[in-house]
Amino acid sequence: MIRNFVKDCIDNGSDLKPLLVKAKDMVNPSLMNPSILTLPNNKVIVNLRNVNYLLYHAEHSLNEHSWGPLCYLHPENQIELATHNILCSLNDSYDIERYSNVDTSKLDVKPLWEFVGLEDARLAYWENKLFLSGVRRDTTTNGQGRMELSEVVEENNVYKEISRARIPAPPDNTSYCEKNWMPILDLPYHFIKWTNETEVVKYNTSNQTCETVHLGKFQDLGTGDLRGGSQVIKIQNKYLALVHETNLYNSEAGRKNADYYHRFVVWDENFNLVKVSKRFNFMNAKIEFSCGLCVHNDRMLITFGYQDNASYLLNAPLTFMLQFINE
Amino acid sequence: MNEHLKNYINDTENPVYNFDLGRWYEDQDHHSPAAGFFLRAADLCPNDLDLRYESLLRTYFCYNRAGNRNYTCESILKSAITIAPDRPEAYYFLSEHYEKLNDWPNSYLFSSLALEFAKQPTKFRTYMYFNGMYQLYFQKAKSSWWMGKPHECRNTYRFILNNYINDLPQNYRDFLQERLSSLGAGLEHETIKTYTKKDCYEKFRFKFSGLENIENNFSQIYQDLFVLAILEGKRNGTYLEIGSAKPFFRNNTALLEQQFDWRGVGIEYDSEFCKEYADNRKNTIINKDALLVNYKELLKENFQDDKIIDYLQLDIEPAKHTFEALLAIPLEEYRFRVITFEHDHYVDITQSYREKSRRYLRSMGYELLVSDLSAVEGCTFEDWWVKPELINPDILAKMRNENKHDSICVTDYMLDTL
């Protein structure tokens, strides 16, 4: 277990940047769970999830909130967990050079549940279209979660959502909540829905159906449940993604707490799971979450959220990262 | 790489590095990550009370700025009090927090607890928006008013005036001045000492000819009777009344005009008062700012070549203006037998105009016969002066206040209360 993976990366030629936009431009106070993508023109873009809660997490339980060590603190007059998305263009130094809130007004309808907006959106670029792919839970009165695919275009420096598709869950679309499907960037409309046993699904845009196209066998890797994380990228004829494990537990007083861990996962070209890396935390916090991974020139770029209140971009030498993954 | 982030990565469990990174985010107005790192700092230093306390307070600042998380704000500040109950800052922020919610019982409670239990302010690594214990007294004064404790409110503001005036920044001074002036000495019936023949004639210490015909007076604290007493019930006297206000209620010249046939002129800024005055009084009232009057012309016009005028009243607000009006009167040319000067010392946050007026009047040959008069204990607001050579020495000797350096309630001076 590596508690401070970022430090190892920094010691091996990496750099880390906070991902920030001007506070006055934010609808909500917290920037979390960023995703990152290299576009065909070699420009790099980032999506920041902007939420209305502050995570109160007394990680060492010394100053717990009266509601427990881990609390999601919304404004007291807002019952909903509201998410907006902010799309950003990066310059060559990986600094944010411009950004805009994603304008969803064309497709928004009155929310029916209290988790509002597209959550933990991953960036994907398929068939010359830019997509945000995340979970939405506000379309039914019971909070049913489905992955959605939102196409966005940039007009006059503002990103606008121009289409929205709700993806049914194979096989029979009866599950309660689907989330963290990982878009496979070189296979349009394909996602890794589950890591172990590996399930690959394909969304059919013409008839809005979704089917399982690969179902691997469970492998005893000595890990916990491997849950979705970043996009799936192809590198050296293999597929690579970052996934997470969770340890959800109660404090002695019976209040919920959680630890998150990450691992790299490697599949061969046929989506046979061939490697999982050591388990790590990025910066030694209990709640961290990555939904962004890409290669840019000779660097591997990883974006991750820290304690649901901050976003970072880790920019590491590709050689070092591959060495770590293959250890 | 950002230096604070670099330090944090090198030692993620170092509370100081967590704190410093929180400060960096706070400087960018990103209060959510700032709150996270401050809370982390607080969680990482069980034995460093100073840093833990400061980190919790900064966590509170962030939640407060993020807005609308009142329960959490209260919870964090109460945690801070719990770990350092002898420090004033968390109490202060909690009292201020409740004030914003109009929760006066809690605002009063936490300011009172702080003043009971907290010592002097803590030294912090960063600026904490707490500059001194006076802020807690302000909280207590404000909240006590809404708790139905006007006397405590007034006394607390006066306590600040007497003990912290030199510590106050300008915005607090302005607020204090406004509050003291607006609160005054108390309820109207408490701040007026009225003479009635039935109750006071026998006890009146300085009887004069004509007193027996006065059923009641009009002044707030016997100024009209003082003037008549020291001038031995003079008829057909003259006066200049600066700050006339109402024609009868609390007026110092109404009795002189109505029963002793004095003539004179009044100056009043408020046009409504002037209209009422003109409708009900014989003598002249001028609707003008007392600081813009040419007194030389005014006195010549109203008193011709008479260079001795019996009574000068000075009563405008604030004390600074009253003093400036005094300076505008040509005292080298005109002499006044009696002057009542309202220095409003109890609400003068500069605490300077009483002394300035005294120095000036003494230099012009006046004697302070009765000083620091009040209607209510602790609210001294007026001095009474005479031009000794224009007063009967026997009367002067009789009416000199033997204890002139102490403040005095007017009834103790004018009446035999034993």
Q: How far apart are CA B406 and CA B402, in angstroms?
A: 10
Q: What is the pLDDT of residues A32-45, one digit of tens each?
A: 999 999 999 999 99
pLDDT above 90: residue B186: no
Q: Which residues contact B375 (CB under 8 A, 6 or more apart)?
A: B185, B190, B191, B192, B193, B220, B221, B409, B410
Tokens of B24: 């960096």
A283–B39: do the CB atoms touch at under 8 Å?
A: no
Distance from CA of A16 to the nearest CA of B (A): 7
- Smallest Cβ–Cβ distance between A54 and the set B13, B28, B63 belongs to B63
- In chain A, the residue whose alpha carbon lies closest to the alpha carbon of B83 is A63
Tell me how far apart the 2 most distant CA atoms of chain A are, in Å: 54
- Smallest Cβ–Cβ distance between A309 and the set B33, B72, B79 belongs to B33
Both B198 and B179 in a single domain?
no
Distance from CA of A168 to the nearest CA of B (A): 35
Residues on chain A touching B67 (C-beta within 8 angstroms):
75
Rounded percentage of chain B residues whose pLDDT exceeds 70: 99
Q: Which residues of A touch B (CB under 8 A)?
A: 3-4, 6-7, 10, 15-18, 20, 23-24, 29-31, 54-63, 65-66, 71, 73-78, 283-285, 306-307, 309-310
Rounded percentage of chain B residues whose pLDDT exceeds 90: 89
B43–A60: do the CB atoms touch at under 8 Å?
A: yes
Q: Given the structure tokens 């000067």, which residue do they identify? A: B341
Residue finishing a domain among B167, B183, B199: B183
Residues (pLDDT < 70) of chain A are none
Number of A:B CB contacts under 8 A? 105
- In Å, how far are A182, A196, A225, A245 from A220, measured between CA atoms? 21, 9, 11, 15
pLDDT above 90: residue B402: no
Q: Given the structure tokens 């003037």, which residue do they identify? A: B227
B71 touches A: beta carbon within 8 Å: yes
- Smallest Cβ–Cβ distance between B32 and the set A61, A74, A309 belongs to A309
Q: How far apart are CA B73 and CA B90, in angstroms?
A: 11
| Residue-wise burial string across B113-143, b where 16 or more C-beta atoms lie within 10 A, e elsewhere | bbbeebeebbeeeeebebebbbbbbbbbbbb
Both B309 and B280 in a single domain?
yes
> What is the band of B189 on the pLDDT scale with cuts at 50, 70, 90?
confident
Both B258 and B378 in a single domain?
yes
Burial group, residue A249, by CB count within 10 angstroms (0-12, 13-18, 19+): exposed
> What is the band of B191 on the pLDDT scale with cuts at 50, 70, 90?
confident
Residue B244, classed as helix, strand or coil, is: coil
Decide: A123 and A139 in contact? Cβ < 8 Å. no
- The CATH number of whichever domain residue A28 belongs to comes to 2.115.10.20
| Spacing of C-alpha A117 from chain mean position | 14
Domain hosting residue B175, numbered range:
3-183
- Smallest Cβ–Cβ distance between A63 and the set B6, B56, B70 belongs to B56
Q: Would you state the pLDDT for residue A203?
A: 98
| Spacing of C-alpha B116 from chain mean position | 25
- In Å, how far are B359, B386, B387 from B396, measured between CA atoms? 21, 9, 10
Q: Would you state the pLDDT for residue A320?
A: 98
Total domains in chain B come to 2
Distance from CA of B43 to the nearest CA of A (A): 5
Amino acid (1-letter code) at residue B227:
V
pLDDT above 70: residue B403: no
A310–B32: do the CB atoms touch at under 8 Å?
A: yes
User: Which of B39, B58, B74, B82 is best to mutate for the A interface (most A CBs within 10 A)?
Assistant: B39
A309–B35: do the CB atoms touch at under 8 Å?
A: yes
Q: Would you state the pLDDT for residue A224?
A: 94
Q: Would you state the pLDDT for residue A231?
A: 98
Q: How far apart are CA B309 and CA B237, in angstroms?
A: 8
> What is the band of B404 on the pLDDT scale with cuts at 50, 70, 90?
low
Mean pLDDT score, B199-207 = 96
Distance from CA of A241 to the nearest CA of B (A): 24
Residues on chain A touching B13 (C-beta within 8 angstroms):
284
- In chain A, the residue whose alpha carbon lies closest to the alpha carbon of B70 is A76
Total domains in chain A come to 1
B9–A4: do the CB atoms touch at under 8 Å?
A: yes
Distance from CA of A79 to the nearest CA of B (A): 12
B56 touches A: beta carbon within 8 Å: yes
ipTM: 0.97
Decide: B239 and B309 in contact? Cβ < 8 Å. yes
Both B203 and B170 in a single domain?
no
Both B148 and B62 in a single domain?
yes
| Spacing of C-alpha B292 from chain mean position | 25
B32–A31: do the CB atoms touch at under 8 Å?
A: yes
Tokens of A208: 């809005």
Q: How far apart are CA A203 and CA B237, in angstroms?
A: 106
Decide: B18 and B37 in contact? Cβ < 8 Å. yes
Both B327 and B304 in a single domain?
yes
Distance from CA of A294 to the nearest CA of B (A): 21
Q: Would you state the pLDDT for residue B121?
A: 83
Distance from CA of A8 to the nearest CA of B (A): 10
> What is the band of B418 on the pLDDT scale with cuts at 50, 70, 90?
low
B63–A284: do the CB atoms touch at under 8 Å?
A: no
Q: How far apart are CA B165 and CA B180, in angstroms?
A: 13
Both B316 and B377 in a single domain?
yes
Return the bridge partners of A90, or none. A96
Mean pLDDT score, B19-35 = 98
A63–B79: do the CB atoms touch at under 8 Å?
A: yes
- The CATH number of whichever domain residue B151 belongs to comes to 1.25.40.10
Both B168 and B258 in a single domain?
no
Q: Would you state the pLDDT for residue B377?
A: 78
Residue finishing a domain among B153, B183, B213: B183
Residue A184 burial (CB count, 10 A): 24
- Smallest Cβ–Cβ distance between B28 and the set A16, A17, A23 belongs to A23
Distance from CA of B102 to the nearest CA of A (A): 17
B39–A62: do the CB atoms touch at under 8 Å?
A: no
- In chain A, the residue whose alpha carbon lies closest to the alpha carbon of B72 is A65
Both B249 and B392 in a single domain?
yes
Q: What is the pLDDT of residues B310-366, one digit of tens each?
A: 999 999 988 999 999 999 999 999 999 999 999 999 899 888 999 999 999 999 999
State how beta strands B238-242 and B308-314 pair.
parallel
pLDDT above 90: residue B405: no
Residue finishing a domain among B183, B210, B231: B183
Return the bridge partners of B309, or none. B336
- Smallest Cβ–Cβ distance between B44 and the set A17, A60, A307 belongs to A60
A3–B12: do the CB atoms touch at under 8 Å?
A: yes
Domain hosting residue A72, numbered range:
5-326
Radius of gyration for the alpha carbons in chain A, expressed in angstroms and rounded: 19
Both B79 and B212 in a single domain?
no
- The CATH number of whichever domain residue B308 belongs to comes to 3.40.50.150
Residue A143, classed as helix, strand or coil, is: coil
Tokens of B218: 């009009």
Q: Would you state the pLDDT for residue B36?
A: 98
User: Which of B28, B32, B48, B62 is best to mutate for the A interface (most A CBs within 10 A)?
Assistant: B32
| Spacing of C-alpha B249 from chain mean position | 23
A30–B32: do the CB atoms touch at under 8 Å?
A: yes
- Comparing CA positions, the residue from B295, B301, B248 lying closest to residue B273 is B248
> What are phi and psi for residue A230, nearest 5 degrees?
-80, -175
- Smallest Cβ–Cβ distance between B71 and the set A20, A62, A76 belongs to A76
Both B293 and B409 in a single domain?
yes
